[in-house]
Amino acid sequence: MANRKRGRQSFFLEDPPVITAWASVAGKKEAEGPLGHTFDVKNRDAYFGQKTWEQAEKHMQQQALKKLASKAGMGQKEFDLVFSGDLLNQCIGSSFTLRNTGIPHLGLYGACSTMAQSLLLASMAVGGGFAQKVVAMTSSHFASSERQYRFPLGYGGQRTPTAQWTVTGSGAALVCPEGSGPKITGCTIGTVTDLGIKDANNMGAAMAPAAYATIRAHFDDMKTAPEDFDLIVTGDLGQVGKEMLLELARLDGVSLGGKLTDCGTLVFDNTKQDVHAGGSGCGCSAITLCGYLLDQLNTGKLKKILFCGTGALLSPTSTQQGLPIPGVCHGVCITGGR
Amino acid sequence: MANRKRGRQSFFLEDPPVITAWASVAGKKEAEGPLGHTFDVKNRDAYFGQKTWEQAEKHMQQQALKKLASKAGMGQKEFDLVFSGDLLNQCIGSSFTLRNTGIPHLGLYGACSTMAQSLLLASMAVGGGFAQKVVAMTSSHFASSERQYRFPLGYGGQRTPTAQWTVTGSGAALVCPEGSGPKITGCTIGTVTDLGIKDANNMGAAMAPAAYATIRAHFDDMKTAPEDFDLIVTGDLGQVGKEMLLELARLDGVSLGGKLTDCGTLVFDNTKQDVHAGGSGCGCSAITLCGYLLDQLNTGKLKKILFCGTGALLSPTSTQQGLPIPGVCHGVCITGGR
């Protein structure tokens, strides 16, 4: 067996797993944004026909899984394994989605980095021969997040300029040993990075150092550089965090300028949709990847991207106890499919 | 590359990864229990010298990681990857343990199945050649769990007969491609199983069906049977859940009788320590494995066990919304080291 480890944090996939299908489910505001035309399922009802927002989030994941199976031309029962997680306490969005489906499930917590983390683990499971039809999935919901992390929506609190808008959506991708579609060629596992940011309304700032650490580690471990990519896409730094990431790179002598974009700045039109610093949440990078980005990779409009899921590992308890916000970022290198 | 997948839910490890070191940290009540002599670090202070119970939990994981490095004869910086998770909202026990250590981290949520889940993923990472010194770790704390899932301790609520006592402890195991120690030969990934149990004070009943589903899947996928094992060890079903598991097996025509034990019934002396149905929490199976069980496997007193981490995937929100408690169980087959 060839050793696939590369450097401190990365691994290379000798037989790159293929993303053979992907599906996205989005809420009303997301459907009205610039990427609206790329989502498979759009729903105007914030409750998605359910009684609670938590159950709405479960329903979004169920819809994403169902749509994924139909786009892949198989039954859900054929999935070998689902890696998924979400922002809800105890990840109930994911576990209630999988209950009694008979599909093997491994639950994750990586905050908003979960789409990248689940893809990374799916590529390990497939690349190592442990499973063959592996789903990477996550979701987030504006209303369940606001209630859990900040204030009840009915309170009508004023949002700060650095605040981001949690995306209501779910994305799912199917990773297989072979087939047609974009390929995962290598991954970089993040380290938990904390520079002491304590403002729970400025998560872009909390996550930017982790994002830079992972991007830099990917370049070093894989002996690559920004010019080798069409795009370097972070998960949900938003406008503020994206500027900070550019600055951190510049101070380190690395120019990301022409290559960097952020799902949090793509998913909403910040000038018209009143989302302040941009989109956030596990669903932000999930619906951007499992729609726009994978579509572009599939048609060859994008040839190679570094998809960097970013997560702020805070809890309401840690914030109330005055602790800073650790960040994490996992990188997945994806190449065009044709 | 040989395909290592076996059956619907399992995989076999061609070159079985080795558990080269393990470490456990326990609280006062656990240290006074029947396994007290097997723990590496014992602390009489429920706060472990910290200001809050959440930070105490972080401190336990830090101690477990430190002890693990010292028992493995290496620096913590040499660890390639840590798979860990815990019961705290947003898994802050794990993320705050790893912050600024520079060790790559993938966060998990599998409730009390996390020790088995992290070992399973560590064996994938090592078995697939993606990493070489991989830590599987988890923790739980009686006081932080009671506050989060049930009532503030100061409230002094009466506990029901089926209630279990969350173990205060942390366990960590180091998984490597080679070396001396017990070996991981195969794993079975659980499915989320829910038979409609809604009593958050009877988690043994909620988890027993998931435990049986995974044990049965392991037998079927791996073409093995109870008589091939010295022990089949569930995580934290407690006395009530263990009886139910035996009954479920009996109804299915499988006799587990002489082989089955449960960490929740091993870690405390139920007759003297007033823990009602037994121990629970991520730490329950973690300190039992990373002490007693791995010690016995290492000296050859046990030759082969099926370690089955069991998790109840509830949240206080799902319980308050009247939803049932889904369960999950992951199985890891470990053979004696000498």
DSSP string, B68-131: HHHHHTS-GGG--EEEEEESSGGGHHHHHHHTTS--BEEEB--GGGHHHHHHHHHHHHHHTTS-
Q: How far is CA B270 from CA A250, B34, B264, B279, in A?
A: 61, 10, 9, 9
Name the average pLDDT for chain B: 96
Residue type, A160: T
Residue of B124, B119, B239 lying closest to B181 (CA atoms): B119
Q: Sort out which chain A residues have CB atoms less than 8 A from B194's CB and list them.
A: 99-100
Q: How close is the nearest chain A Cα to the Cα of B181, in Å?
A: 21
Read off the pLDDT of each residue in A251-279 and give the average, rounded to a whole number.
95
Pair of tokens at residue A157: 């609190």
Pair of tokens at residue A244: 């900070």
Q: Sort out which chain A residues have CB atoms less than 8 A from B117's CB and list them.
A: 106-107
User: Has residue B257 got a pLDDT over 90?
Assistant: no
Interface touch A124/B129, C-beta < 8 Å: no
Interface touch B128/A124, C-beta < 8 Å: yes
User: Has residue B69 got a pLDDT over 80?
Assistant: yes
Q: What's residue B337's pLDDT?
A: 66
Pair of tokens at residue B243: 């009886």
- Verify that B269 and B229 share a domain, yes or no: yes
Nearest CA in chain A to B15: A1
CB-based contact, B7 to chain A, within 8 Å: no
The answer as to whether B11 is a domain residue is: no
Are the beta carbons of A9 and A114 closer than 8 angstroms?
A: no
Interface touch B98/A192, C-beta < 8 Å: yes
Pair of tokens at residue B322: 């009247």
- Verify that A158 and A221 share a domain, yes or no: no
Q: How close is the nearest chain B Cα to the Cα of A132, in Å?
A: 8
The answer as to whether B187 is a domain residue is: yes
Interface touch A190/B105, C-beta < 8 Å: yes
Whether this model's ipTM surpasses 0.95 comes out as yes
Angle at which helices A142-149 and A53-72 cross, to 10°: 140
Interface touch A128/B128, C-beta < 8 Å: yes
- Verify that A213 and A149 share a domain, yes or no: no
Q: How close is the nearest chain B Cα to the Cα of A139, in Å?
A: 15
- Verify that B143 and B232 share a domain, yes or no: no
Alpha-carbon gap, residue B207 to B318, rounded angstroms: 16
Interface touch A127/B128, C-beta < 8 Å: yes
The answer as to whether A7 is a domain residue is: no
User: Has residue A156 got a pLDDT over 90?
Assistant: no
Alpha-carbon gap, residue B12 to A128, rounded angstroms: 11
Interface touch B315/A80, C-beta < 8 Å: no
How does DSSP assign A5-67, residue by residue?
A: EETTTEEE-SS--EEEEEEEEE-HHHHTSTTGGG-SEE-S-TTTTSSSHHHHHHHHHHHHHHH
Pair of tokens at residue A99: 């209950």
Q: How far is CA A23 from CA A114, A286, A325, in A?
A: 16, 9, 31
Q: How far is CA A127 from CA A44, A116, A122, A298, B82, in A?
A: 39, 16, 8, 20, 20
Tell the burial category of B311 from Cβ atoms under 10 Å away from its Cβ (0-12, 13-18, 19+): buried
**Which range among A126-130, B112-116, B125-129, B152-156 shows the weakest confidence by mean pLDDT?**
B152-156
Nearest CA in chain A to B111: A90
pLDDT band at B88 (very low <50, low <70, confident <90, very high): very high
User: Has residue B1 got a pLDDT over 60?
Assistant: no
* The last residue of a domain, from among B107, B141, B176: B176
* The last residue of a domain, from among A176, A195, A225: A176
pLDDT band at B2 (very low <50, low <70, confident <90, very high): low
Q: Sort out which chain A residues have CB atoms less than 8 A from B96's CB and list them.
A: 313, 318, 323, 326
For chain B, the domain total comes to 2
The answer as to whether B3 is a domain residue is: no
Q: What's residue A270's pLDDT?
A: 86
Interface touch A323/B105, C-beta < 8 Å: no
Q: What's residue A151's pLDDT?
A: 86
Pair of tokens at residue A256: 């990301």
Alpha-carbon gap, residue B46 to B141, rounded angstroms: 9
Give per-residue burial for B203-222: e unless 16+ CB within 10 Å, then b: bbbbbbbbbbbbbebbbebb
Alpha-carbon gap, residue A170 to A185, rounded angstroms: 24
pLDDT tens readout for residues B90-106: 999 999 999 999 999 99
- Report the percent of chain B where pLDDT is more than 90: 94
Residue of A44, A45, A41 lying closest to A53 (CA atoms): A45
The three-state secondary structure class of A173 is strand
Phi, psi of B328 (to 5 degrees): -145, 155
The answer as to whether A5 is a domain residue is: no
Pair of tokens at residue B116: 């088995």
Nearest CA in chain A to B85: A109
- Verify that A167 and A19 share a domain, yes or no: yes
Nearest to B328 among A85, A105, A131 (CB): A105
Nearest CA in chain B to A315: B90
Pair of tokens at residue B185: 């030969």
Read off the pLDDT of each residue in B234-248 and give the average, rounded to a whole number.
97
- Verify that A146 and A49 share a domain, yes or no: yes
Note down the domain range covering A251. 183-335
Interface touch A130/B4, C-beta < 8 Å: yes
Alpha-carbon gap, residue A311 to A171, rounded angstroms: 16
Alpha-carbon gap, residue B113 to B310, rounded angstroms: 4
Read off the pLDDT of each residue in B70-99 and give the average, rounded to a whole number.
98
Q: How close is the nearest chain B Cα to the Cα of A272, in Å?
A: 32
The answer as to whether A275 is a domain residue is: yes
Alpha-carbon gap, residue B55 to B261, rounded angstroms: 32
CB-based contact, A2 to chain B, within 8 Å: yes
Half-sphere exposure of A94 (CA within 13 A, CB side): 39
What is the value of pTM for the model shown? 0.98
CB-based contact, B328 to chain A, within 8 Å: yes
Residue whose token pair is 């490095």: B69
> A36: which residues sit within 8 A by CB, 6+ positions away?
A26, A30, A42
Between A and B, how many CB-CB pairs are < 8 A? 211
- Verify that A215 and A111 share a domain, yes or no: no
pLDDT band at B338 (very low <50, low <70, confident <90, very high): low
pLDDT tens readout for residues B191-223: 999 999 999 899 999 999 999 999 999 999 999
Phi, psi of B106 (to 5 degrees): -120, 120
Interface touch A91/B80, C-beta < 8 Å: no
Identify the CATH number of the domain in which residue B60 sits: 3.40.47.40
CB-based contact, A89 to chain B, within 8 Å: yes
CB-based contact, B192 to chain A, within 8 Å: yes
- Verify that A172 and A218 share a domain, yes or no: no
- Report the percent of chain B where pLDDT is more than 70: 99
DSSP strands (E only) in chain B: 5-6, 10-12, 18-26, 41-42, 81-86, 105-107, 134-140, 165-166, 169-176, 183-188, 231-234, 260-262, 279-280, 304-312, 327-335
pLDDT tens readout for residues A10-20: 999 999 999 99
- Verify that B205 and B317 share a domain, yes or no: yes
Residue whose token pair is 């990519």: A229
CB-based contact, A106 to chain B, within 8 Å: yes
- Residue to substitute from B47, B99, B203, interface A, most A β-carbons within 10 A: B99
- Verify that A113 and A217 share a domain, yes or no: no
CB-based contact, B38 to chain A, within 8 Å: no
pLDDT band at A1 (very low <50, low <70, confident <90, very high): very low
Interface touch A191/B124, C-beta < 8 Å: no
Beta-sheet pairing, A165-166 with A279-280: parallel
**Greater model confidence, B139 or A158:** B139
The three-state secondary structure class of A237 is coil
Q: What's residue B151's pLDDT?
A: 86
- Verify that A145 and A218 share a domain, yes or no: no
Q: Sort out which chain B residues have CB atoms less than 8 A from A193's CB and list them.
A: 99-100
Name the average pLDDT for chain A: 96
CB-based contact, A57 to chain B, within 8 Å: no
Residue whose token pair is 């990075």: A193
Phi, psi of B39 (to 5 degrees): -85, 145
- Residue to substitute from A9, A53, A96, A109, interface B, most B β-carbons within 10 A: A109
Interface touch B8/A104, C-beta < 8 Å: yes
* The last residue of a domain, from among B142, B176, B210: B176
Nearest to A104 among B1, B87, B190 (CB): B190
> B337: which residues sit within 8 A by CB, 6+ positions away?
B18, B19, B180, B181, B182, B183, B297, B298, B300
pLDDT tens readout for residues A26-78: 999 999 999 999 999 999 999 999 999 999 999 999 999 999 999 999 999 99
Q: How far apart are the first and last CA of chain A?
A: 28
The answer as to whether A27 is a domain residue is: yes
Residue whose token pair is 């840590």: B82
The answer as to whether A4 is a domain residue is: no
- Verify that A85 and A132 share a domain, yes or no: yes
Q: What's residue A214's pLDDT?
A: 98
How does DSSP assign A312-330, residue by residue?
A: E---HHHHHTT----EEEE
